[in-house]
Amino acid sequence: MTFHVYYSANASRHPARPFHPERPHRTHAALAGLADIDLPGLSFVQATHASVDAARTLHDTDYIDRLLEPIGQRPGEKKTYRVLDGGDTHQAPDSLDAALEGLGSLQDAVDRTMSGEITGALVATRPAGHHATRNQAMGFCFISQAALAAEHARSKHGARVAVLDFDVHHGNGTEDLLWDQRDVFFASTHSATLWPLTGSGESKGAHGQILNVPLQPLTGGREMRSAWTRIFSRLRKFSPDIIIVSAGFDAHMADPISNLCWKAEDFDWLARQLGEVGRDVCGGRIVSFLEGGYSLPVLYDEVPAYIAGLMGADYQRISNAGSRFGRIDGTPYVPGTFTALTHPILKFQYRKAFQRQWIQDQDNGALLYTPPDFVKLNSREPLEEIAAAASERGVLDIRDIVRLERLCG
């Protein structure tokens, strides 16, 4: 069994605003977690790029044209980013390319899975996509990669496709793009009371091919398992040729912006049940795309557990500190939203600026990490220790940040 994990060579090409929960560190945590397990058949593959025309197959052409406009040319617009939806979704110069990298990787994974070259795949890139509608970016999303990958599988391979979404936020963009697609089944569980407040049980698609099961706040594994048992029953009847999963890990009870209470054993149950159903109905052809999930420890723990569950395998943790997937580099935060610090003391050092605590790369002045608001530090000592270890090692490793946020989250 060969399972591909697609990663971006530069996770920071789509930078984050300071203090924002959607940050490049998320994919670092997921990939480091995968690198730190012994799971036969797991293969890491560099992400591949889709053409912009691939996004036009379902998104409105004028919307894609707006995304292609150079940053900084609209009246009153900053030179380094533009706000697309009133606040949550910031587009930097390379953001669309980063989104197309996720789409290209999904298309490649679909092709290889349909040909039998690989059994399945995870695309662990960012930004996510399931909130992007036909003509609007929102919810940190620019293009709906999962819906576009389903269209690719349908048009190129003649496949019947199922798209499943277990993110805590409803995939309103995916639903919008797939509303009229008779040969694509879309099913979602999500919080009934969180943004975008869509995905009611009455939203069934133009052909009844959509199944939404909203969950009430603070519900956990019992309600989740009941919902997904219902979805799996419909999935078996639909009998897809391939399954595409919008894999969001923010329904976990430890996620900072969730109001559901899923636990590790619930994600494990979901993955193993999905893997079993997938092997029964489509030969195990399951391609997943990382959507939400904002707790770094949850991503580090649950993404590898999810992949192992899909494969029906057990795994052990191994020590792989210093691997390429743990290294934080580039410029994770949007330039222009603050002034870079100077006067280096160490290669990596703890600094305080803008009423925040930071770890800074003294080679280029880049601010590499600041604890988000949901991580509560009682002193500066943990950051100083991480900075000192990074200086000695020459690398700021995501595993140190995961440990910090596990203790203080």
CA distance 163 to 170: 13
Contact 34, 72 (CB under 8 A): no
How many CA atoms lie less than 13 Å away from 109 in the CB half-sphere? Answer: 37
pLDDT reported for residue 348? 63
pLDDT reported for residue 122? 99
User: Which pTM value belongs to this model?
Assistant: 0.94
pLDDT reported for residue 340? 38
CATH architecture of 3-317: 3-Layer(aba) Sandwich (3.40)
Instruction: Report residues of the chain scoring pLDDT below 50.
Output: 336-346
How many CA atoms lie less than 13 Å away from 203 in the CB half-sphere? Answer: 22
Residue 260, CA distances (Å) to 2, 216, 220, 228, 250 in order: 33, 8, 6, 15, 8
Pairing of strands 316-317, 286-290: unpaired
Contact 359, 368 (CB under 8 A): yes
Reported as a single tens digit per residue, the pLDDT across 78-108 is 778 898 987 789 999 999 999 999 999 999 9
Q: Where are the domain boundaries for CATH 3.40.800.20 in the chain?
A: 3-317
DSSP states of 219-267 as a string? --HHHHHHHHHHHHHHHHHH--SEEEEEE--TTBTT-TT----B-HHHH
Contacts of 81 by beta carbon, 8 Å cutoff, 6+ apart: 71, 90, 91, 92, 334, 336, 337
Instruction: For residue 14, indicate whether it is catalytic.
Output: no
Question: Considering 131, 152, 170, 190, which one is annotated as catalytic?
Answer: 131
pLDDT reported for residue 324? 62
